[in-house]
A and B are shown apart, each in its own frame.
Chain A
Amino acid sequence: MSKPKVGVFGLAGCGGCQLEILNLEDELIDFISAVDIVHFTEAITEHSDTYDIALIEGSVSTKHDLERLEHIASVAKIIIAIGACSSSGGLNCLKNLYGTEKAKELVYGDKKDWIDAIDTKPIDAFVKVDYHARGCPPTRAEIVDVVKSLIMGKVPEIPDYPVCIECKRLGNICVYETGGTCMGPVARAGCNARCPSANSGCEACRGPVDDPNINAQKDLLDRYGLTVEDIMEGFNLYNACKKIEQKNK
């Protein structure tokens, strides 16, 4: 089988997911040898408009982002969303919560009409996404796994169990026991409980599991004398788009 042609693209985001590819360290040389990277603005000058797989970071936040996304989708056979912004809208959705027009005025004042900005949305609001490597940022291993699986013709395994399972496996002390708050009971695992392992509550940067056990989360909050509001601020950091979407249903 010939090497698949891969394009790496960034819409509205921090560049961190693309950076995680450059951060592959020992695996970097193997990775860029196993695939034919034909487009990666952050790292290479050469660029081609022929690719099989598109790795897309960032959400759609401008009309220009949308035009680029639609073009990429018209070329690529497989689209992989990398990171929270691309998968769920991520942190960029905080701007929607504040109000896009209001945000333009606050930051650019009377020059706001010069600025192209629309409500932020994840890329699957516009195009079919084949796989998601979630998280802010996704783990490097996950990005490699998704691409490797595709090359080998397998379906990549994306965890659908909560972060609590990973904490139990690691023997972590529960963040609630130390006085913090945590989305672990409902948040999608796959990060090896990175934040709770550093004594910091999970903020569900990978979104919720498909069928979250909301009662378990509520029981836990009750037990520690907390309310849903106490954790929603953390949840909104990466999942505001989901919240707005549910409200509009």
Chain B
Amino acid sequence: MATNLNIEVTPISRVEGHGDLVLDVKNQRIEKLQFRIPESPRFFEAMLVGKKYTEPSHITSRICGICSVAHTFASIRATEAALGVELNDQILKLRKLTNHGEMIQSNCLHVYFLAAPDFLGVGSVVPLLKTHPAVVQIAVNMKKVANEMVRVVGGRAIHPITTVVGGFTKLPSVEGLLKLKDMLNALYADLETSLAVLKTLKLPDFERETEYICITDDQDYALYSGDLMSSDGWKINNQDYLTKIHEKVVQHSTGKHCWASRDAYMVGALSRINNNYARLSDNAKRYAEEFGLKPPCYNTFMINIAQFVEIVHCVDDSIRLIDELLEAGLDNDRAMVAVEPKAGRGVGIVEAPRGALIHDYTYDADGRIIKANLIIPTNMNYANVEKDLNQLVPAIIDKSEDEIRLGCEMLIRAYDPCISCSTHFLNVTLINK
């Protein structure tokens, strides 16, 4: 066992974007631990200034290819809140269905393509083609169904087209929805097979209690809309988020750091399961029980399992939404509601796959943006990632350099960080153990 260690992981792979970890350990004490984001900053808050209310959702969708639907809806909801737009049930259901599609797309990508290789002891999905072809086939198929969901309703698998302020430029066809329902129903067998495989994985035994934040709703397992809530016991309207959520610029990262009731908090699938478990579908609860996942869960690595449980919930809930939409009958006359520009401020908080995503716009009387503030889930998690690493490293300091490096990478990957959002991501620099 070395007492000094110098490790560099540049960049950390299998995360969306670009990030580095710098770890400096001397005489087994952590001298420096920084999760750095050298990702190119893209200045969306500046790009939005002066833009007409019809454009921000197209622009902000391009913040992130993986969560383009969540950005689209957070943006649209912020605009609609500012302009006082009242929607109908058909629009809300179609939006929730599109959002579920992206949740399945993204959670599937992370669980199967990005995180699973760690637990199966390989470097990427490519070797899994030889060792676990059935799992890769399931992942590809599930991704295909989820892409099709966003394509059928949103017009394109990423950067949706039909989803605009006031509703949809075009409704899906009845045939399209029926086909989706068949594809979703066919996923149940794949979910059962995946359950059997995922149950064999040994997740690291690592626990650190923190503050868990997400949106919540009395009726729904909140993903598209709801009040912002914390496991520390507060619940507020979207519009009041600044009374609880704070952010600051830190020198080692282009992504800002956030805090709420304490010095760090977690957003994402585990926060949602911890706070909203009761509203999961019965089937999703059954899967959670199979993994022993029940709130409160303090193991960061269980984010991977929480994401899988959410896939089950989204499949169940999507089928329900399709049934309700078809039963009511698709009505082109109700695809859009009227929208008129006016001055005002609006906030939209949506659960992106990686956690609560906040868009906050102020409009002038012509419906052009005066000021925009965006808070991205990956940014919200940064401080919490550093806190986790500070606890993890001393616990595994006796292991080899490679094992420490992998342990840190796996922990960071568990958060499914999406660094292009904050603007990109990952290098692990371990200096001196």
Contact = CB atoms under 8 A, between A and B. Distances in A.
B170 A199 contact: yes
B158 A42 contact: no
A103 B43 contact: yes
Interface string A51-93: 0000000100110110000000000000000000000001110
B47 A94 contact: yes
A52 to B, nearest CB: 18
Nearest to B15: A42
A241 interface: no
A141 to B, nearest CB: 13
Interface string B61-91: 0111110100000000000000000000000
Contacts of A65: 40
Nearest to A47: B13
A33 B140 CA distance: 15
A195 B161 contact: yes
Contacts of A58: 40
A37 B126 contact: yes
B372 to A, nearest CB: 10
A73 B41 CA distance: 23
B125 A43 contact: yes
Interface string B115-140: 00100000111100100000010001
A45 B55 CA distance: 37
Given A10-B18, A15-B17, A136 B124 contact: no
A25 B42 contact: no
B107 interface: no
A106 interface: yes
Contact of A43 (B114, B164, B418): B114
What is the predominant secondary structure among interface residues of chain B facing chain A? loop
B155 A29 contact: no
A137 B140 contact: no
B157 interface: yes
B65 A117 contact: no
A11 B40 contact: yes
A143 to B, nearest CB: 13
B65 A106 contact: no
Given A12-B42, A137-B159, A198-B161, A111 B170 contact: no
A117 B43 contact: yes
Nearest to A114: B251
Nearest to A100: B43
A18 B117 CA distance: 19
Interface residues on A, range: 35 or more
A117 B249 contact: no
B415 interface: no
A104 interface: yes
B225 to A, nearest CB: 24
Nearest to A108: B249
Contact of A46 (B124, B143, B157): B124
**Most B C-beta atoms less than 10 A away, residue of A15, A61, A103:** A15
Interface string A96-123: 0010101110111101001111000000
A170 interface: no
A65 B38 CA distance: 10
A117 B155 contact: no
Nearest to A117: B41
Given A16-B65, A44-B124, A25 B47 contact: no
Contacts of A237: 55, 58-59
A184 interface: no
B286 interface: no
A32 interface: yes
A13 interface: yes
Interface string B290-315: 00000000000000000000000000
A2 to B, nearest CB: 17
Interface of B: 11, 13-18, 38, 40-43, 45-47, 49, 51-52, 55, 58-59, 62-66, 68, 109, 113-114, 117, 123-126, 129, 136, 140, 143-144, 147, 155-159, 161-162, 164, 169-170, 249, 251, 254, 418, 420, 424
Interface of A: 10-20, 22-23, 25-26, 28-29, 32-33, 37, 41-47, 58, 61-62, 64-65, 90-92, 94-95, 98, 100, 102-104, 106-109, 111, 114-117, 136-137, 194-195, 197-200, 203, 233-234, 237
9 tightest A-B CB contacts, nearest first: A16-B65, A44-B124, A103-B46, A12-B40, A198-B155, A45-B123, A94-B47, A103-B43, A111-B249
